[in-house]
Structure 1
Amino acid sequence: MRLFVLLAAWVSIAADAPTPIVLQGHPQSVTAVALSSDGKIVVSGDEEGELRSWDVDHRKEQWRVEGHVGRVYAVAFSPDGTRFATAGGDKLVNLWDLSGRKVGALKGHTGRVYAIAYSADGKTLASASKDATIRLWDVETATTRAVLSGHGEGVSAVGLSNDGTVLVSSDRNGWVKTWSLPAGKIAATKDTGSGDVYSAAVTADGRTMASVGKEGSATIWDVAGIKKLRDLPGHSDRVLTARFSPDGKRLATAGDDRIVRVWEVATGLPLASLKAGDDRIPGVAFSADGRVLAAACGDKSVRVWTLDALSQP
Structure 2
Amino acid sequence: MFSLTLSIRDKWDAHRQTLEGHSGRVWTVAFSPDGRVIASGSGHNTIQLWDAATGAHQQTLKGHIGWVWTVAFSPDGRVIASGSDDNTIRLWDAATGTQQQTLKGYNVTTLSFSADGQGLETNKGIIKINPGPSGTNLFIHNNWITRDGRKLLWLPPDSQCVSVYKHMMVLGHRSGQMTFLKFSSD
Tell me the TM-score normalised to structure 2 length: 0.69
Preserved contact between residue 131 and residue 155 of structure 1 (Cα < 8 Å): no
Gaps of 5+ in 1: 1-17, 22-39, 41-54, 171-175, 194-216, 232-313
Partner Cα distance (1:160, 1:129) in 2: 16
Preserved contact between residue 158 and residue 169 of structure 1 (Cα < 8 Å): yes
| Root mean square deviation, CA, Å | 3.3
Instruction: Quote the residue 1:89 is aligned against.
Output: 43
1:177-188 matched pairs, under 5 angstroms: 177-183=125-131, 187-188=137-138
Tell me the TM-score normalised to structure 1 length: 0.43
CA 1:150–1:92 in 2, change beyond 3 Å: closer, same or farther? Answer: same
Q: Which amino acid aligns with 1:121?
A: D
Instruction: Quote the residue 1:131 is aligned against.
Output: 86
Q: Given the alignment of the two structures, is residue 60 of structure 1 paired with residue 8 of structure 2, yes or no?
A: no
Partner Cα distance (1:191, 1:56) in 2: 48
Q: 1:189 aligns with which of 139, 143, 153?
A: 139
Deviation at 1:65, TM superposition (A): 2.8
Q: Given the alignment of the two structures, is residue 225 of structure 1 paired with residue 180 of structure 2, yes or no?
A: no
Partner Cα distance (1:56, 1:94) in 2: 31
CA 1:61–1:108 in 2, change beyond 3 Å: closer, same or farther? Answer: same
Instruction: Quote the residue 1:111 is aligned against.
Output: 66
Q: Which amino acid aligns with 1:125?
A: I
Instruction: Quote the residue 2:25 is aligned against.
Output: 71
Preserved contact between residue 89 and residue 113 of structure 1 (Cα < 8 Å): yes
Partner Cα distance (1:162, 1:97) in 2: 24
Preserved contact between residue 83 and residue 97 of structure 1 (Cα < 8 Å): yes
Q: 1:161 aligns with which of 111, 114, 122?
A: 114
For 1:133-173, what per-residue CA distance to the aligned partner results, in whole angstroms no more than 9, with x for missing partners?
0001001111011101133xx43222211211121234xxx
Higher gyration radius (CA): 2
Gaps of 5+ in 2: 144-159, 174-186
Deviation at 1:114, TM superposition (A): 0.5
3-state secondary structure, aligned to 1:75? strand
Aligned length: 152
Q: Give % identity.
A: 34
**1 or 2 for the larger relative contact order (CA 8 Å, sep ≥6)?**
1
Deviation at 1:177, TM superposition (A): 3.0
Preserved contact between residue 126 and residue 164 of structure 2 (Cα < 8 Å): no
